[in-house]
Structure 1
């Protein structure tokens, strides 16, 4: 048995997003293909087609769950499923001729699909991990070392794997950005797992060499993108003081239901989410 952890990010441009989030969804190997098939069927169910067919690229959470989606979805009463799917499909297929009904149905379908996708992930016993960094958090001067948000994400994943009876191996699957950036990140990850004490410990259960995939073609990286976006804009834990978008509250609850959490024998909790208020190394600590 092994687990794959599909990783994506939200708010890395540090512009409008209140938090910079690195999120991972972990899925056991035997559950990956069933979940992918179910998500593909769900897109056909809600939109009458695959979203990649509609957009020709990854359907980013910023397009699916932005404020405009909720505004359009709420401008008319809810459609029944068959009518909503028909109108949403027409909106996607014939974008040059929008109507109020089509735009409303498409907004409602986007929200319904995202909530259903998260429920499918929960049924397949997926686990969610995330590091959360305020937009104003201080940044390190050394851009060659692996950032603390990545290191803490790997730490949370290691805690999860280490607590499973079989101690399965974990594979890291990143969204491929440009090739040079992938090479830089690959080197940073490799150095972390090989040259730091914490990294060497965690390499016992996490394969030190990550995979890079095109998110346009990888359904579960797209799901990680949705989770990262919702955490940035909708999830609020203690000490997260930026205002949340109220319309995301139900979807935020869906994401929190997937968060890894475990109570240890001593009573303390292990959590899949970590808030990092300062990305600079502290006192030379190697995390």
Structure 2
């Protein structure tokens, strides 16, 4: 048995998003393909087609769950499923002829799909992990070391794997950015797992060399993107003081229901989410 952790991010441009979020969706190997098939069928169910066919690229959460989507979805009463799917497909395939009904149905379909996708992940016993960084958090001057939010994410993944029977291994699957950035991140991750004490410990259960995939073609990285976006804009834990978008509250609860949490025999509780208020390395005395 092994687990794959599909990783994506939200808010890294440090513009409108209240938090930078690095999110991982963990899925056991034997459940990956069934979940992918279910998500593919769900897109046909809600939109009458695959989203990649409609957009020609990844359907980012920023497009699926932005404020405009909710505004359009709420401008008319909910459509019956069959009518909503027909109108949503018409909106996707005939964008030059938008109508109020089509745009409303598409907004409703986007929200319904995202919630159902998270429900499917829960049905396949997926686990989610995230590190959350306020946009005002101090940042290191050097960019060659692995950022603390990555290290904390790997720590949470290790906690999860270490509590499972049979010592399952974990594979890291990142959304591929440009090639040079991938090489930089690959080197940082490798150095962390090989040259730091914590990294060497966690390499016992996490393969130190990550995989990079095109998110356009990788359904579960797209789902990790939804998780990251919702955490940034809708989830609020202790110490997260930025306002949340109230319309995302039900979906934020869906995400929190997938969050890794475990109580140890000592009574201590481990969580899959970590707020990182300072990205600078600890000062050495």
* Shorter-chain TM-score tier: over 0.9
Give the deviation of 1:167 after TM superposition: 1.4
Matches of 1:177 and 1:239, distance apart in 2 = 30
Report the Cα offset of residue 282 of structure 1. 1.3
1:283 deviates by 2.1
Secondary structure at 2:72's aligned position in 1?
helix
Aligned partner of 2:156 in structure 1 is: 156
Match of 1:127 in 2: 127
Partner of 2:277: 277
Give the structure 2 partner of residue 205 of structure 1.
205
Q: RMSD of aligned C-alpha atoms?
A: 0.7
Structure 1 runs (4+) greater than 6 angstroms displaced: none
The count of corresponding residues between Structure 1 and Structure 2 is 285
**How high is the TM-score relative to the length of structure 1?**
0.99
User: Are residue 237 (structure 1) and residue 237 (structure 2) matched?
Assistant: yes
> d(CA) in 1 for partners of 2:96 and 2:138?
45
Task: Indicate the residue corresponding to 1:21 in structure 2.
Answer: 21
Question: Which ranges in structure 2 are unaligned for 5 or more consecutive residues?
Answer: none
The residue aligned with 2:43 is 43
Q: Distance in 1 between matches of 2:53 and 2:92?
A: 9
The CA deviation string for residues 89-138 of structure 1, in whole angstroms up to 9 with x for no partner, is: 00000000000000000000000000000000000000000000000000
Q: Partners in 1 of 2:40 and 2:232 — Cα distance?
A: 25
Q: TM-score, normalised by structure 2?
A: 0.99
- Equivalent position SS for 2:24: strand
Aligned to 1:33: 33
CA distance in 2, matches of 1:283, 1:264: 30
Correspondences of 1:126-145 after superposition (within 5 Å)? 126-145=126-145
Could you say what secondary structure the match of 2:63 adopts? helix
Could you tell me how far apart the structure 2 residues matched to 1:197 and 1:282 are? Answer: 15
State the partner residue of 1:221.
221
* CA–CA distance in structure 2, aligned partners of residues 94 and 258 of structure 1: 36
Deviation at 1:165, TM superposition (A): 1.1
Q: CA deviation at 1:51?
A: 0.1
